[in-house]
């Protein structure tokens, strides 16, 4: 999406501020109050659809639909990993989750990229879209819907939406003339161009173009948007992004262009086949069309009734304006409920610059996954980049963090505790963990920390959620070191009872860690669970309520200890990899290491 839109504010209509008088606009009636919290309903302006909130309401969350002008990079993976962690957490809470991702496949740039590769546009889209799907599998992304904007159901819904907005008097036609950057697919303001009218992003000369486009009357929604943002401070998060959005709106909203006259690779404007629909009236609708079932008649109403409104749009801050200003106005115009929340996270940066396709300074996520495994990649970016802010990548920090937290604090603690249990207790839990921990301080700490982790997950504070879970591991390490059960076992009967209880307490803490960290590191959590003697089926059906102390019961047998997470050692990597990857030669790995450092 972003690539298609980076400078799209310049597409806002500056020169044509008045609407053709022949168009009969409906009055901008004040919207009904939109209540997000504790509300029985959530409604919008005139013609609104009402959405009754109840506990059975699905949790629908979306990533941006990624633009297929180039394969995915670590930035695209970042949003998707975060969305996956949130989806997994919501599933643990017992919610029905619909996790939507997908690809934005129309536009001039796609047609040009396809031609450059000697492919038809759709063949090009198929291949890049598949690359996204393949990466999501490697990263353990548990999406429910993958929408492609070339899907026929999507096209039908886009046309219906467009027709509704048109019927509401919010679309009009006007001339536009200016300097156009083919790569940005945007008209540019002359002031921002470099020498020889070069685009500052693509460093290529912009072309003079004149065309008539259709425009959306965003300016009509100024007042409503101001009120929504004022009255619903949780609508845009984090709070500093809300303030940004409020600033944009207060500065005055300009109508924006929603069609292209000279781009064939797109959805034709209903009733004007010479124009195609531009990104916002196409890609954003993917969030709704993704909900439609393949076999049913594609219609806005059918799709909406399958789960709209979205509970959460997760996006990078580059496309915040479009999700927090354009999209709500478009939805109000079409009489469709607004999403409940838009969260704009920060950028992964490389040497302080946004990693992106345009600058080509990307980090190859497949490479990272092959070298370090999906859990390490997921954990590092979610733990080390405070969700909302920018974060810089360094391989040294990556390795240090993952080794310290996953291999040492968690993996090593589990391994040595299971080792002691095997040697001294035949890997058998002697008493219920609830009884073993009566009045125990570690138990109290774990209970507090796991509750803290839950609250952080709820508030989308993923880094803090990781930190709270990690603290359980750290507390477990301190506990076992202080109690030194290996010495107690040597003292005979009296020491044995205390030492075996200590082991049970630490193992129970690790069981809780496995569940609480499973949204972030699903494969590692499964391994911990398996080591604790549970089956994969048992792991698949866990819920957050099982983080309550007392899961390990008397007589339960744990598995023979095996490391769940090996330290990353550049001399011997790959470590946490698939069998296929393990076949990769050490020489090739070293080359890859070099490549990431240089990227």
Ligand X SMILES: Nc1ncnc2c1ncn2[C@@H]1O[C@H](COP(=O)(O)OP(=O)(O)OP(=O)(O)O)[C@@H](O)[C@H]1O
Question: Where along the sequence are the contacts to ligand X (CB under 6 A)?
Answer: 1-3, 6, 64, 66-67, 75-76, 78-79, 315-316, 318-319, 347-348, 354-358
CA angle 120, 124, 129 (to 5 degrees): 145
Residues with Cβ within 8 Å of 206's Cβ and at least 6 positions away in sequence, in order, are 179, 180, 181, 188, 193, 197, 198, 199
**Of 106 and 567, which has the nearer Cβ to ligand X?**
106
**Of 141 and 319, which has the nearer Cβ to ligand X?**
319
Burial class of residue 297 (count of CB atoms within 10 Å of its CB; 0-12, 13-18, 19+): exposed
What is the rounded distance in angstroms from the CA atom of residue 161 to the CA atom of residue 342? 21
**Of 6 and 575, which has the nearer Cβ to ligand X?**
6
User: Alpha carbon 532 to chain centroid distance?
Assistant: 30
Helix axes 222-231, 239-250, angle to 10 degrees: 160
With left for phi above 0 and alpha for psi between -120 and 50, is residue 355 left, alpha or beta? beta
Residues 91, 112 contacting (CB under 8 angstroms): no
Task: Output the smallest distance, CB 78 to ligand X, in A.
Answer: 5
Task: Output the smallest distance, CB 305 to ligand X, in A.
Answer: 28
Residues with Cβ within 8 Å of 81's Cβ and at least 6 positions away in sequence, in order, are 139, 141, 377, 378, 381, 382
Exposed e or buried b per residue across 443-482, where buried means at least 16 C-beta atoms within 10 angstroms of its C-beta: bebbbebbebbbebbeebbbbbbbbbbbbbbbbbbebbee
What is the rounded distance in angstroms from the CA atom of residue 589 to the CA atom of residue 581? 10
Residues with Cβ within 8 Å of 555's Cβ and at least 6 positions away in sequence, in order, are 428, 429
Task: Output the smallest distance, CB 79 to ligand X, in A.
Answer: 4
Task: Output the smallest distance, CB 237 to ligand X, in A.
Answer: 15
Task: Output the smallest distance, CB 233 to ligand X, in A.
Answer: 22
**Of 185 and 318, which has the nearer Cβ to ligand X?**
318
Task: Output the smallest distance, CB 240 to ligand X, in A.
Answer: 17
Q: Which parts of 68-104 are beta strand (E)?
A: 97-104
Task: Output the smallest distance, CB 363 to ligand X, in A.
Answer: 9
User: Alpha carbon 34 to chain centroid distance?
Assistant: 25
Both tokens of 126, joined, read 């198929």
Residues 49, 429 contacting (CB under 8 angstroms): no
CA terminus-to-terminus distance, the chain: 23
Q: What's the alpha-carbon Rg for the chain, to the nearest Å? A: 27
Task: Output the smallest distance, CB 68 to ligand X, in A.
Answer: 8
**Residue at token pair 């020489």:** 587
**Of 212 and 367, which has the nearer Cβ to ligand X?**
367
**Of 170 and 364, which has the nearer Cβ to ligand X?**
364
**Of 203 and 478, which has the nearer Cβ to ligand X?**
203
Task: Output the smallest distance, CB 2 to ligand X, in A.
Answer: 3
Task: Output the smallest distance, CB 383 to ligand X, in A.
Answer: 15
Task: Output the smallest distance, CB 316 to ligand X, in A.
Answer: 3
**Of 68 and 291, which has the nearer Cβ to ligand X?**
68
Task: Output the smallest distance, CB 135 to ligand X, in A.
Answer: 12
Task: Output the smallest distance, CB 422 to ligand X, in A.
Answer: 44
Q: Helix (H, G, I), strand (E, B), or coil: what is residue 590?
A: helix
**Of 44 and 348, which has the nearer Cβ to ligand X?**
348
**Of 160 and 461, which has the nearer Cβ to ligand X?**
461
**Of 80 and 577, which has the nearer Cβ to ligand X?**
80
Both tokens of 556, joined, read 């339960």
Instruction: Tell how strand 353-354 and strand 171-181 pair up.
Output: unpaired
**Of 76 and 149, which has the nearer Cβ to ligand X?**
76
HSE at residue 332, side-chain half, CA atoms within 13 A, is 30
**Of 318 and 461, which has the nearer Cβ to ligand X?**
318
What is the rounded distance in angstroms from the CA atom of residue 290 to the CA atom of residue 100? 7
Task: Output the smallest distance, CB 357 to ligand X, in A.
Answer: 4
| Separation in Å, CA 71 to CA 5, 241, 417 | 17, 28, 44
Q: What are phi and psi of 597, to 5 degrees?
A: -60, -40
Residues 542, 508 contacting (CB under 8 angstroms): no
**Of 356 and 365, which has the nearer Cβ to ligand X?**
356
With left for phi above 0 and alpha for psi between -120 and 50, is residue 427 left, alpha or beta? left
Task: Output the smallest distance, CB 73 to ligand X, in A.
Answer: 6
**Of 325 and 499, which has the nearer Cβ to ligand X?**
325
Residues 255, 217 contacting (CB under 8 angstroms): yes
Residues 260, 213 contacting (CB under 8 angstroms): yes
């Amino acid at each position: 999406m972003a690539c298609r839109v980076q400078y799209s504010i310049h597409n806002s209509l500056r020169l044509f501020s008045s609407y053709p008088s022949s168009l009969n606009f409906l009055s901008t009636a004040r919207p009904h109050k939109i209540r997000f919290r504790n509300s029985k309903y959530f409604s919008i302006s005139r013609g609104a659809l009402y959405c009754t909130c109840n506990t059975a309401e699905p949790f629908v969350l979306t990533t941006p639909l990624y633009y297929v002008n180039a394969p995915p990079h670590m930035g695209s993976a970042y949003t998707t990993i975060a969305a996956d962690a949130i989806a997994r957490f919501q599933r643990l809470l017992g919610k029905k989750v619909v996790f939507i991702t997908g690809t934005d496949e129309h536009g001039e740039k796609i047609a040009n990229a396809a031609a450059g590769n000697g492919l038809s546009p759709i063949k090009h889209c198929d291949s890049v879209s598949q690359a996204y799907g393949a990466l999501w599998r490697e990263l353990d992304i548990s999406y429910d819907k993958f929408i492609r904007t070339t899907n026929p159901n999507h096209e039908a819904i886009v046309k219906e939406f467009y027709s509704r907005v048109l019927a509401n008097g919010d679309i009009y036609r006007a001339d536009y003339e200016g300097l156009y950057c083919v790569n940005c697919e945007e008209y540019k303001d002359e002031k921002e161009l470099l020498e020889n009218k070069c685009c500052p992003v693509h460093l290529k000369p912009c072309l003079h173009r004149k065309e008539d486009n259709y425009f959306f009357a965003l300016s009509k929604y100024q007042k409503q948007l101001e009120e929504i943002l004022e009255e619903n401070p949780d609508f845009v998060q984090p709070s500093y992004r809300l303030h940004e959005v409020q600033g944009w709106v207060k500065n005055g909203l300009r109508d924006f262009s929603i069609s292209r006259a000279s781009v064939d690779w797109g959805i034709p404007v209903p009733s004007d086949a010479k124009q195609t629909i531009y990104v916002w009236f196409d890609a954003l609708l993917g969030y709704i069309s993704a909900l439609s079932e393949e076999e049913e008649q594609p219609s806005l109403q059918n799709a909406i009734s399958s789960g709209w409104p979205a509970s959460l749009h997760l996006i990078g801050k580059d496309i915040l304006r479009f999700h927090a200003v354009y999209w709500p106005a478009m939805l109000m115009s079409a009489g469709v409920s607004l999403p409940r929340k838009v969260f704009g996270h920060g950028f992964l940066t490389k040497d302080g610059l946004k990693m992106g396709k345009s600058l080509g300074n990307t980090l190859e996520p497949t490479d990272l996954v092959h070298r370090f495994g999906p859990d390490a990649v997921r954990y590092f970016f979610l733990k080390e980049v405070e969700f909302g802010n920018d974060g810089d990548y360094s391989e040294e920090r990556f390795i240090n963090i993952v080794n310290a937290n996953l291999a040492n604090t968690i993996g090593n603690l589990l391994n040595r505790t299971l080792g002691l249990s095997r040697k001294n207790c035949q890997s058998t839990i002697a008493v219920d963990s609830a009884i073993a921990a009566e009045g125990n301080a570690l138990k109290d700490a774990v209970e507090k920390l796991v509750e803290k982790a839950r609250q952080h997950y709820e508030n989308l504070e993923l880094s803090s959620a990781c930190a709270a879970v990690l603290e359980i591991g750290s507390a477990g390490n301190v506990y076992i070191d202080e109690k030194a059960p290996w010495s107690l076992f040597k003292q005979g009967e009296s020491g044995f009872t205390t030492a075996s209880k200590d082991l049970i307490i630490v193992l129970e803490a690790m069981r809780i860690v496995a569940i609480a960290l499973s949204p972030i590191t699903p494969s590692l959590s499964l391994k911990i669970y398996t080591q604790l003697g549970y089956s994969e089926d048992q792991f698949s059906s866990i819920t957050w309520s099982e983080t309550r102390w007392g899961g390990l019961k008397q007589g339960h047998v744990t598995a023979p200890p095996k490391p769940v997470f090996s330290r990353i050692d550049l001399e011997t990597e790959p470590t946490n990899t698939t069998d296929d990857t393990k076949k990769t030669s050490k020489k090739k790995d070293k080359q890859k290491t070099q490549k990431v450092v240089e990227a």
